[in-house]
Structure 1
Amino acid sequence: LLFLTQHRIFFRSFVGSRGATQAVLTFLLIPCCLTQEFRAPPFIPNVSFLWGWNAPTELCAQKFNVQLDLNLFSLIGSPRKSATGQGITLFYADRLGYYPHIDEKTGKNVNGGIPQSGNLKKHLEKAKKDIAYYIQTDSIGLAVIDWENWRPVWARNWKPKDIYKHQSIELVQQQHIELNVTEATKIAKADFEKAGKCFMQETLKLGKSLRPNYLWGYYLFPDCYNHNYKKPDYNGSCSDLEKKRNDELNWIWKESTALFPSIYLNTILKSSPYAALYVRNRVWEAIRVSQVSSVKHPLPIFVYARPVFTDVSLKYLSEQSCTELDNYMKNTLNPYIINVTLAAKMCNQVLCQEQGVCIRKHWNSNDYLHLNPDNFAIQLEKSGRYTVQGKPTLEDLQQFSKQFYCSCYADVRYMRWCFKKKLLAVNFG
């Protein structure tokens, strides 16, 4: 019998004569750890599958008295400018120092416009104050810098971001009137990338020094621009060119303490098999990049996802949308979170002895960590808490072993394959 007060889950299961919530099974050939591959240890102790909520949905309660149930989310943060002291802090361009950029609506230069015209010293002085304001205590949390106006790799600033290229070239031509366009472009590229690197790298260093218990990184990094899903032969793969460009950003991966890629899905991908291909390849590229600094100590990855398909990046919440979101979370999203979390916990115990996480043997397969619907049922009670009824069978656990393997946490001391016959207790506490 398990009652998780924080998560409001009530687990009714195969309770034995002593009331122990566990399945004691004989399981053969249990792989404990695969030495060649590692994962970052849990950011929050004993939470191997962490869910975060980073949306301004507090407006639903404030404006329409619609109280969303966020008890299943370990980290919660609103992107609103007035929000401070949160588990997830999102730093937009106007909230962290003097980020040089060109206003996309007015076309005016802000803080110098292009990074080589920005003032790094003043930026860091202001950023120090902003960090102290938005993250008032150094507890634990995520610090996500959302700078999207320009990209640090010159070649990735295609329309409409090519204005940064044009201004950079014009600046060089003003300083060196004797240069032709080709010569000026070469210098402009080097100047732009050097200055962009300084702003991004030094901002990360500052954040880590001031709030070391937060994990710091940039939203949308890494990206691999695999958006060509309108092509009939689309397979979701990240091109070799974009992987190479990500390799040029090794200085970001080495300075970051977390990665924050995005898997937002447009409506064109609704009910499309391309959606899974799009997501898997983006996450797989993030896993590759996470190992740049150290294969044995990879960066943790927090994937940004939306619970809906949408083509609109900014959409204000109405009373109807709040009510629809509340119903969706109660009846679809939260039960699914419980399903995946318990399945992952079960698999981690069986294959990893809780010293790692279960990973697909074939990363691009349709194998998922789900509870067997024939053996488990998740229900929402009138009290607002969820009940989980059922127990795993030996076949369920063997299915995990067929489809998944264990990737050890980076801090596990003894990393080896161990095949042994033993009594295995699967605990859900």
Structure 2
Amino acid sequence: MFQTRDFTGAVYALRFAVIFMTFVLRPIYQVSAEKSRGCTPPFLLPDRPFVVVWNVPSGVPCDQHDIHLSLAEWGILANKNDSFYGDQMAIFYGFGYWPYIEKNGKMHNGGVPQLADRAKHFRYADYFTKQLIPSPDFKGLAVLDWEAWRPYFYHNFDSLAVYKEKSVELVQARFPAWTNKTQIWDEAEREFNIGARLIMQGTLEASQSLRPLGKWGYYGFPRCYGTSPSGDTCSYPETSTTNDKIGWLFKSSTALFPRIYTNPLKTSTTARAHYVRQQINETLRIQAKFTGLHVPTMPYSIFESGEYLFTEADLQFAVKEPADMGATGIVLWGSHHFFRGKKDCIRMQKYINTVLGPFVKNITDFAAACSTAICSGNGRCVRKDYEVLTQQHLRSNNKAECLKPSTEYAEMSRKVPRQADDLLREDYYRSSGQSDTLRYNPGPSSVKKYEDYVCRCLEGWSGPHCTKPD
């Protein structure tokens, strides 16, 4: 039975307070904040506009075989012992008392968000945050990973449809006289969406209050929605319309962690590249509309599927594309299942030293050199086609901050780089053994090699080359 305490005056007062703070006070604050925070996030490390973070628990299983992965040698950031929790990054898997339903139908902690005991959940989440991030000065990435259900009612399809069904059952049980199916579903949607927002936004903002210098956000948001069994599609306008329904989540986030996983065993290179570009485009739209360009974006990428490790072609859009969009960096995620024994550690060590490491260093060095060469070290390089997309999103959402002059925008639109179309060609990734990224190697100072890029300036700087102090 639906718990009646959710309909008390106190809960209505709480809901009003949340809505008031979000839709009335927050926009006033956000406008003034965006004016002073620049058009790109601060660098996570000095002079490193783009970083790669290792979020793979490889330390313990490989250290016991006296195999130490040479991540630092290639500029890849990792927590101590390559653990999931540390000074660089912390990822929280369902901490607290989240409501969820098992596959067998058993309901835990209320089962659906509208029945959650939020007070109990917030108390535990508070304790867990302090335990896993003991330093109040934590400045790293803090990822909330909750995937049992999605915060928008109609996003709970396929195996998650049980959350819609249970919500409908609760309404039917409480209002047995109702016969209009539309009325029942509308009420179920309303109750679910309110409950989901209260617990998800509340968890995010409570955690931020404890570790305010951290970059907080939910794993996998924003995301694309499509119909492909492999998930390598992104349907519009379905994606943009439904993501806008959870704009409150993005406004509350101090970092975005979209997922750009692709399955090399199911889809072609062209399809995977196309999907990543679509996901990046949606992330740029969310930035422009909800968060502002000063909020860090750190896409999650998985680099192994079974026995398959990313080739350099995969790394082009798993690593290089986020760098070119102006992301703060990427997170390489992996499971402890990757390391079943010594041979897996040896295999990973060889892969890092021959493929992943050199590729990452190449891209991160290029990002740093480009920043110095054309942004005076006061900004981040963004490839022109991605800047054109961002400017389109800013214009369509009537955002004045970070908007480039019409003449500059028109000129940039005419000169988008050739790579944008190349990414959709299969043969672009079939080289004769020579790395396609070699043309991006920083060498003698030359502005010409950065002609496909423009600058987004850090806080305190403006101008085409970020030379004007604000």
Aligned equivalents of 2:227, 2:304: Cα separation in 1: 18
Aligned equivalents of 1:286, 1:354: Cα separation in 2: 25
Aligned equivalents of 1:87, 1:262: Cα separation in 2: 19
CA shift digits 1:217-276 (9 cap, x unpaired): 000000012463879xx9x55411111111111101110000001111212356621221
CA shift digits 1:115-163 (9 cap, x unpaired): 1111011110111111111111122111101100100111111111000
Aligned equivalents of 2:139, 2:66: Cα separation in 1: 30
Aligned equivalents of 1:111, 1:373: Cα separation in 2: 53
Check the 8 A contact 1:339/1:371 in 2, yes or no.
no
Over 3 Å counting, the alpha-carbon distance change for 1:187 and 1:79 in structure 2 is farther
Aligned equivalents of 1:173, 1:230: Cα separation in 2: 35
Aligned match for 1:408, one of 457, 460, 468: 457
Aligned equivalents of 1:335, 1:45: Cα separation in 2: 21
Aligned equivalents of 1:325, 1:339: Cα separation in 2: 19
Bigger CA drift: 186-195 or 57-66? 57-66
RMSD over aligned Cα atoms: 3.0
Aligned equivalents of 1:249, 1:257: Cα separation in 2: 15
The structure showing larger relative contact order (alpha-carbon pairs under 8 Å, at least 6 residues apart) is 1
CA shift digits 1:381-419 (9 cap, x unpaired): xxxxxxxxx83364xx31311x1111222x133x22369
Aligned equivalents of 2:81, 2:109: Cα separation in 1: 26
Check the 8 A contact 1:290/1:300 in 2, yes or no.
no
Aligned match for 1:300, one of 288, 296, 299: 296
Check the 8 A contact 1:229/1:274 in 2, yes or no.
no
Aligned match for 2:438, one of 357, 373, 382: 373
Check the 8 A contact 1:224/1:242 in 2, yes or no.
yes
Secondary structure at 1:335's aligned position in 2?
helix
Secondary structure at 2:158's aligned position in 1?
coil
Aligned equivalents of 1:333, 1:174: Cα separation in 2: 56
Percent of residue pairs bearing the same amino acid type = 29
Aligned equivalents of 2:40, 2:150: Cα separation in 1: 28
Over 3 Å counting, the alpha-carbon distance change for 1:365 and 1:374 in structure 2 is closer
* 2:324 is the counterpart of 1:324: no
CA shift digits 1:347-372 (9 cap, x unpaired): 1112211121111112334489x997
Check the 8 A contact 1:263/1:282 in 2, yes or no.
yes
Aligned-pair CA distance for 1:77 = 7.2
Aligned-pair CA distance for 1:78 = 8.0
Over 3 Å counting, the alpha-carbon distance change for 1:77 and 1:260 in structure 2 is farther
Aligned-pair CA distance for 1:46 = 2.6
**Residue of structure 2 equivalent to 1:245:** 242
| Larger proportion of strand | 1
CA shift digits 1:175-223 (9 cap, x unpaired): 1111123321110100000000000000011001001111110000000
Aligned equivalents of 1:299, 1:419: Cα separation in 2: 18
Aligned equivalents of 2:439, 2:154: Cα separation in 1: 51
| Larger proportion of helix | 2
Over 3 Å counting, the alpha-carbon distance change for 1:88 and 1:168 in structure 2 is same
| Runs of at least 5 residues in structure 1 that lack an aligned partner in the other structure | 1-36, 377-389, 421-429
Aligned equivalents of 1:418, 1:393: Cα separation in 2: 16
* 2:116 is the counterpart of 1:118: yes
Aligned-pair CA distance for 1:88 = 1.2
**Residue of structure 1 equivalent to 2:382:** 359
Over 3 Å counting, the alpha-carbon distance change for 1:404 and 1:375 in structure 2 is closer
Secondary structure at 1:318's aligned position in 2?
coil
Check the 8 A contact 1:114/1:192 in 2, yes or no.
yes
Over 3 Å counting, the alpha-carbon distance change for 1:66 and 1:100 in structure 2 is same
* 2:77 is the counterpart of 1:74: yes
**Residue of structure 2 equivalent to 1:58:** 59
Secondary structure at 1:350's aligned position in 2?
helix
* 2:396 is the counterpart of 1:398: no
Secondary structure at 1:150's aligned position in 2?
coil
Aligned-pair CA distance for 1:74 = 3.0
Aligned equivalents of 1:141, 1:345: Cα separation in 2: 20
Equivalent pairs, count: 356
Over 3 Å counting, the alpha-carbon distance change for 1:230 and 1:156 in structure 2 is closer
TM-score by length of 1: 0.75
Check the 8 A contact 1:88/1:142 in 2, yes or no.
yes
Aligned equivalents of 2:465, 2:70: Cα separation in 1: 41
Check the 8 A contact 1:238/1:285 in 2, yes or no.
no
**Residue of structure 1 equivalent to 2:415:** none
Secondary structure at 1:172's aligned position in 2?
helix
Aligned equivalents of 2:466, 2:110: Cα separation in 1: 61
**Residue of structure 1 equivalent to 2:44:** 43
Aligned equivalents of 1:78, 1:89: Cα separation in 2: 13
Over 3 Å counting, the alpha-carbon distance change for 1:199 and 1:248 in structure 2 is same
* Residue identity matched to 2:219: Y
CA shift digits 1:283-320 (9 cap, x unpaired): 2211221233454x531100111223459986352222
* Residue identity matched to 1:144: V
Aligned-pair CA distance for 1:41 = 2.1
Check the 8 A contact 1:100/1:113 in 2, yes or no.
yes
Aligned equivalents of 1:352, 1:46: Cα separation in 2: 12
Secondary structure at 1:165's aligned position in 2?
helix
Aligned equivalents of 2:80, 2:55: Cα separation in 1: 5
Check the 8 A contact 1:263/1:303 in 2, yes or no.
yes
CA shift digits 1:66-92 (9 cap, x unpaired): 211221223437897xx6544211111
| Runs of at least 5 residues in structure 2 that lack an aligned partner in the other structure | 1-37, 309-333, 387-419, 429-434
Check the 8 A contact 1:142/1:214 in 2, yes or no.
yes
Secondary structure at 1:130's aligned position in 2?
helix
TM-score by length of 2: 0.69
Over 3 Å counting, the alpha-carbon distance change for 1:97 and 1:311 in structure 2 is farther
